[in-house]
Structures are given as structure tokens and as C-alpha cells.
Amino acid sequence: MLPQHMKKAITDNPKKLANLIDLINLPSTLREFVGQSQISRLGCFMRVWSYIKTNNLQDPKNKNLVNCDEKLRSILLGKHQVELAELPSLIKLHFPKEPK
């Protein structure tokens, strides 16, 4: 069985779900990358991940690392290299926080 922290599916928590899938009016930083004026956090993640794959930005020696090109750098805090593991949290920075 799933451990306790995974049992509470995100879909059961409407606030968390909304935070993930609601469309947000984008700050200018993201607008250029995404090419749309609105996107959800989930949609943004999918876009960024897809961009990474299409442009072969994963480091050939260590696929857990991403070598950012200029466009990616513009939305990932200017970093030249990020860890795949950090990707969700980096993207989350662009989005409004969950209301407590």
C-alpha cells in the first residue's frame, strides 16, 4: 500500500488541485518562454520538460542534470545548470503561493 503521505491524493484536496491546474496570468518572465499569456503550473512544467527533451538539454554524462540554454536560463533563475530534481520547485517560484 502507499505510505500515508501519498495516500491523500492531490485530487482530494481542491485547493492543491486548483493550485496545480488553474490558469494564471503570466508574469512577463514566463510569457516569452511559454508564448501564451496564461498557463497553469502543470502546463508550464510539461512545457519546460518537453523543451528540455526536444532540445537535448540533459547532460550526456549525467542525465539528472540539465544544461540550460539562454531561454531556459531566463526562467530558471539564470542558472547554467540545474538538477532535474529541482525542476518542479523552480517552476513553482513563478506561480502564486497556495493560500493557507
Site for other proteins in 38-77 (CB under 8 A): 42, 45-46, 49, 58, 63-64
Q: What angle do CA 30, 83, 56 make, to 5 degrees?
A: 75
The strand pairing partners of 39, in sequence order, are 24
Stretch that binds other proteins, among 9-17, 23-31, 67-75 (CB under 8 A): 9-17
3-state secondary structure of 81: strand
Contact 29, 74 (CB under 8 A): yes
Q: Are 59 and 66 in contact (CB under 8 A)?
A: yes
Instruction: Report d(CA 88, CA 100) in Å as an integer.
Output: 20
Size of the site for other proteins (CB under 8 A): 22
Q: Which CB sits closer to other proteins, 9 or 80?
A: 9
Instruction: With contacts defined by CB under 8 A, name the span among 10-18, 24-32, 74-82 that binds other proteins.
Output: 10-18
Q: Please, which residue, 6 or 35, has the CB nearer to other proteins? A: 6
Instruction: Give residues in contact with other proteins (CB under 8 A).
Output: 1-2, 5-6, 9-11, 17, 20-21, 42, 45-46, 49, 58, 63-64, 83-85, 88-89
